[in-house]
């Protein structure tokens, strides 16, 4: 009826989009709070103001919405990681970029408002690795492969290295989430330093 109409969606589309978002974000919250297995579709719709049946207008099942969430997250993370790999001039720079990106992603994605107001991370309890985790893993593995025979010795055990790097990412990231303030840069610096130099141990002979 006015020019605005041309730019805005119809009311129906607006509602649809709003509902879809409400469901998605409720699901994210609920999954974070109770874990994928323990979370129920009813939990999800109960934390929206929608009716139970409405859920199924948007997602076929709990599985589907979980996939949607995970894919979505991974799709936001992956290009950032890849970009870092492309832009990095050395391995240290790459690692630093990747850790920073991942830690920021964690804050956005998995830290949730606890009842007491604190932001707490509850990583997805799915047994199976989430797409986001897989994305990091694969990206890091690719980066490491690229460096083999260059900065990294040819015979390196790529999988163990990847495991170690992502293990550090996971746990240091978790630790960072519990801290106040959540200092991603410091955490990244620490992680990179461990990976490249190890602990600054003075080996003794006693």
Q: Would you tell me which residues interact with DNA (CB under 7 A)?
A: 10-12, 15-16, 19, 39-43, 49-58, 60-63
Whichever of 29 and 158 has its CB closer to DNA, that residue is: 29
* Residue 196 interface partner, choices DNA, its own copies, none, CB cut-off 5-8 Å depending on type: its own copies
Shortest distance, position 67 Cβ to DNA, whole Å: 12
**Rounded to an integer, what distance in angstroms lies between the CA atom of residue 30 and that of residue 47?**
8
CB of 65 to DNA, least distance (A): 9
Site for its own copies in 77-96 (CB under 8 A): 89-92
Count CB atoms within 10 A of the CB of residue 53: 8
CB 75 within 8 A of CB 64: no
201 is a contact residue toward its own copies (CB under 8 A): yes
Comparison of 117 and 153: residue with beta carbon closer to its own copies: 153
> Residues 100, 166, 182, 184: which binds its own copies (CB under 8 A)?
166
Rounded to whole angstroms, how far apart are CA atoms 21 and 86?
Answer: 33
**Cβ-Cβ contacts under 8 Å for 154 (sequence gap 6 or more):** 148
Q: Which of 10, 53, 181, 200 binds its own copies (CB under 8 A)?
A: 200
- The residues near 69 (Cβ < 8 Å, ≥ 6 apart) are 24, 27, 28, 31
Q: Looking at the DSSP assignment, which residues form a beta bridge with residue 120?
A: 112
| Residue 22 sits in the site that holds its own copies (CB under 8 A) | no
Judged by CB under 8 A, does residue 105 bind its own copies?
A: no
Q: 86 contacts which partner out of DNA, its own copies, none, CB within 5 to 8 A by kind?
A: none
Long-range contacts of 140-148 (CB under 8 A, 24+ apart): 140/98, 140/165, 140/166, 142/85, 143/85, 143/91, 143/94, 143/98, 146/85, 147/91
> What is the token pair recorded at 186?
């410091």
Contact string (CB under 8 A) for its own copies, positions 118-157, x = contact: ----xx-xxx-------------------x--xxxx--xx
Query: If binding is defined by CB under 8 A, does position 116 make contact with its own copies?
Result: no
């Amino acid at each position: 009826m006015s020019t605005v109409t041309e730019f805005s969606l119809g009311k129906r589309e607006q509602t649809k989009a709003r509902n879809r978002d409400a469901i998605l974000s409720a699901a994210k919250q609920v999954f974070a709070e109770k874990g994928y297995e323990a979370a129920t579709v009813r939990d999800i719709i109960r934390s929206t103001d929608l009716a139970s049946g409405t859920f199924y207008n948007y997602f076929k099942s709990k599985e589907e919405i979980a996939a949607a969430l995970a894919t979505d997250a991974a799709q936001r993370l992956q290009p950032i990681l890849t970009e870092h790999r492309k832009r990095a001039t050395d391995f240290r720079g790459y690692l630093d970029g990747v850790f920073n990106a991942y830690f920021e992603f964690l804050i956005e994605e998995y830290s949730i408002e606890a009842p007491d107001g604190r932001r707490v991370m509850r990583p997805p309890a799915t047994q199976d690795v989430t797409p986001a985790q897989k994305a990091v893993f694969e990206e890091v593995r690719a980066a490491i492969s690229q460096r083999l025979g260059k900065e990294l010795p040819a015979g390196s055990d790529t999988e163990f290295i990847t495991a170690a790097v992502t293990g550090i990412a996971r746990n240091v990231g978790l630790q960072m989430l519990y801290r106040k303030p959540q200092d991603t840069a410091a955490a990244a610096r620490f992680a990179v330093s461990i990976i490249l130099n190890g602990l600054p141990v003075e080996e003794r002979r006693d």
